């Protein structure tokens, strides 16, 4: 690695259900990302409010909207196909607004910059794994990833140039289309791309060196990940959309004390609106 600054292209996939009004969480995440690269956004919506377009327009290099029903991958595909001179960048970031930002991203990006691997994902999961927490190397020695539901979670992916300008990646991104449901998207694109990385022997780095039970982004482990350097929490964890989380109110209160002061009121507001009562 040289000491020259990394030129990053950041593709942000969004969706907002509130009459086209982008959330404060989205705005602040895009704002923070813009410190580290050029951000381009696609919202899977027929229309965004004028206020939202103005707010994002002041931060991002470009904003487009249009309902396509292809989830985040469809937004990334459209941005990738639309933007020119992609080969001028050193790194491609794919991320989305499923994440609530909890801290500044300096240490997170510093970690990625120190990694020499061509692909980076903070977390690897096996949604059917129910054993004890295990280090990734030990997991890979015991299980065949091609036979398991093992994948890199797509809320944040980083690709170095020789990967994102390859025909392998271009074929993948251009193959994205409408699928029947979210699970099919997960299996075909999230798990499918992960397996393609392994088949092509692409070097991979993760932030978290362990594999947790089930999917930690949606379990009580989601509240531990920030202490391991993951500066986000998934909105669906607060909703307990896939797994019940015991003592979630106390977990939210404890996490709130760790949240950067710039984002504390945003997290508190989302938690107050989202977390179901434990009564």
Structural domain boundaries in the chain = 8-219
Question: Is pLDDT at 278 greater than 60 in this prediction?
Answer: no
pLDDT of amino acid 279: 44
pLDDT of amino acid 202: 97
Q: Regarding predicted confidence, which is higher, 279 or 91? A: 91
Mean pLDDT of 1-20: 85
Mean pLDDT of 185-214: 95
The Cα–Cα gap between 99 and 187 comes to 20
Question: Is pLDDT at 243 greater than 70 in this prediction?
Answer: yes
CATH T-level fold of 8-219:
Spore Coat Polysaccharide Biosynthesis Protein SpsA; Chain A (3.90.550)
Cα Rg, the chain, nearest whole Å: 18
Mean pLDDT of 89-99: 98
Confidence of residue 253 (pLDDT cuts 50, 70, 90): very high
The Cα–Cα gap between 12 and 157 comes to 11
pTM of the model: 0.95
Question: Is pLDDT at 255 greater than 60 in this prediction?
Answer: yes
Mean pLDDT of 188-216: 95
Average pLDDT, the chain: 94
DSSP character at residue 38: E
Handedness of CA 226, 264, 235, 245 (dihedral sign): positive
DSSP character at residue 273: H
Question: Is pLDDT at 18 greater than 80 in this prediction?
Answer: no
For residue 83, give the nearest of 8, 186, 158, 159 by alpha carbon: 8
Confidence of residue 47 (pLDDT cuts 50, 70, 90): confident
pLDDT of amino acid 1: 47
Q: What angle, 0 to 180 degrees and rounded to 10, lies between the N-to-C axes of helices 24-33 and 264-274?
A: 140
Mean pLDDT of 122-129: 93
**Burial of 96 (C-beta count, 10 Å sphere; 0-12/13-18/19+):** buried
């Amino acid at each position: 690695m040289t000491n020259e600054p990394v030129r990053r292209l950041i593709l942000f996939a969004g969706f907002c259900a509130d009459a086209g009004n982008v959330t404060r969480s989205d705005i602040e995440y895009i704002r923070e990302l813009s410190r580290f690269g050029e951000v381009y956004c696609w919202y899977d919506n027929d229309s965004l409010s004028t206020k939202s377009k103005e707010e994002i327009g002041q931060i991002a290099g470009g904003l487009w909207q249009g309902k396509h029903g292809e989830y985040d991958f469809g937004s990334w595909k459209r941005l990738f196909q639309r933007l020119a001179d992609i080969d001028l960048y050193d790194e491609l970031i794919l991320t989305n607004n499923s994440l609530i930002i909890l801290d500044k991203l300096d240490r997170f990006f510093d970690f990625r910059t120190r990694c020499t691997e061509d692909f980076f994902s903070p977390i690897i999961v096996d949604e059917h794994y129910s054993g004890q927490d295990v280090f990734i190397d030990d997991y890979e020695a015991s299980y065949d990833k091609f036979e398991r539901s093992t994948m890199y979670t797509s809320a944040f992916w980083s690709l170095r140039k020789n990967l994102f300008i390859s025909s392998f990646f271009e074929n993948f991104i251009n193959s994205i289309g409408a699928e029947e449901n979210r699970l099919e998207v997960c299996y075909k694109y999230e798990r499918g791309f992960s397996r393609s990385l392994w088949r092509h022997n692409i070097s991979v780095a993760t932030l978290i060196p362990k594999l947790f039970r089930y999917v930690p982004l949606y379990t009580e482990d989601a509240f531990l990940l920030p202490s391991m350097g993951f500066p986000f929490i998934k909105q669906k964890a607060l909703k307990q959309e896939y797994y019940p989380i015991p003592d979630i109110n106390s977990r939210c209160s404890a996490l709130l004390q760790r949240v950067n002061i710039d984002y504390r009121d945003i997290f508190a507001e989302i938690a107050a609106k989202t977390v179901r009562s434990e009564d």
